[in-house]
Amino acid sequence: MKTNRLLVYFALLLVGFLAAVSLKPASALSTNPEIADLQNKVTALEKRVTTLESVLKVSASSVTLVSPGSITLKAPQIKLNDNGKPIARVGDHVTVGALSGVITSGSPTLLGN
């Protein structure tokens, strides 16, 4: 019985709140500085998301980052394929002790020009 009374009271409060909100003119909401500030922030966020969607493609099986220019990664350490070994390119010169040489093969999962 007490629970039913609480539900009825809550429903009446909800109906009253919704009626009060719906009675406010749209101009009253748009002139509220807090609402206007939130609208500006949402608009700016939407623009950033649109820009991000144009360069970052994420699917269940892959992530693709596309840039018409260069891509710069800045971090104290960058790991590719979660491996801690240093990465060199085919054609790079190496020196081990007194011997020197050229890298002739590389990782099949790290590709580039």
- Main-chain phi, psi angles of 95, to 5 degrees: -130, 130
DSSP state of 91: T
Looking at mean pLDDT, say which of 2-11, 47-56, 65-74, 101-110 comes out highest: 47-56
Indicate if the pLDDT at residue 104 is higher than 80. Answer: yes
SS3 call for 48:
helix
For the cut 80, the answer to whether the pLDDT of residue 21 exceeds it is: no
Instruction: Say if residue 24's pLDDT is above 80.
Output: no
Greater confidence (98 vs 78) lies with 98
Local confidence band at 99 (pLDDT 50, 70, 90 cut-offs): very high
One-letter amino acid at 63 equals: V
For residue 66, the model assigns a pLDDT of: 83
Residue in 76, 107, 78 with CA at minimum distance from that of residue 92: 107
Beta strands of the chain (E only): which ranges? 56-58, 63-65, 93-96, 99-102
Model pLDDT, residue 76:
77
Q: Which of 52, 79, 76, 47 is nearest to 64 (CA)?
A: 52
Above 80 in pLDDT, residue 19?
no
Q: Which of 112, 107, 109, 36 is nearest to 71 (CA)?
A: 112
pLDDT > 70 fraction of the chain, expressed in percent and rounded: 64
Q: Where are the domains of the chain?
A: 2-74
